Amino acid sequence: MYEYICKVVLDNQEDEIKTFANSTLEAFDNLVSMSGVTDIFSVVNKETDELFTFDGDMMALKEARGNIKDEHLIIEELYRLDGTEKRNSLN
């Protein structure tokens, strides 16, 4: 699991927060899932110093994610997109 440092808009203010995830995609998914986060500027993998920026439509992502009720499907798709095998079973 990796630690990510995230520059975001949280409760209408620019802020820096941490999230923990198995991949960068999962880190972004964590941020999209946080109700107080309304925008993402950047995400940095603390271990590798890789920087990822975001210029997409955060509200569209939040809406789309809110329509998915089965968390298992989200996790499986994140692993598939990341090219990793399923790390654990949620069944």
pLDDT tens digits in sequence order for the chain, 91 residues long: 999 999 999 999 999 999 999 899 899 999 999 999 999 999 999 999 999 999 999 999 999 888 888 878 777 777 777 765 444 434 3
- Where in the sequence is the domain holding 64, given as residue range(s)? 2-82
Report if residue 47 sits inside a domain. Answer: yes
Report if residue 90 sits inside a domain. Answer: no
The H or E element containing residue 63 is helix 58-66
Measure the CA–CA gap between 34 and 49, rounded to whole angstroms. 23
Residue 88 has a pLDDT of: 44
Report if residue 15 sits inside a domain. Answer: yes
| DSSP summary character for residue 83 | T
Q: How many domains does the chain have?
A: 1
Report if residue 88 sits inside a domain. Answer: no
**Whole-structure pTM value:** 0.79
Report if residue 18 sits inside a domain. Answer: yes
Report if residue 21 sits inside a domain. Answer: yes
Report if residue 23 sits inside a domain. Answer: yes
SS3 state of residue 34: coil
Residue 89 has a pLDDT of: 39
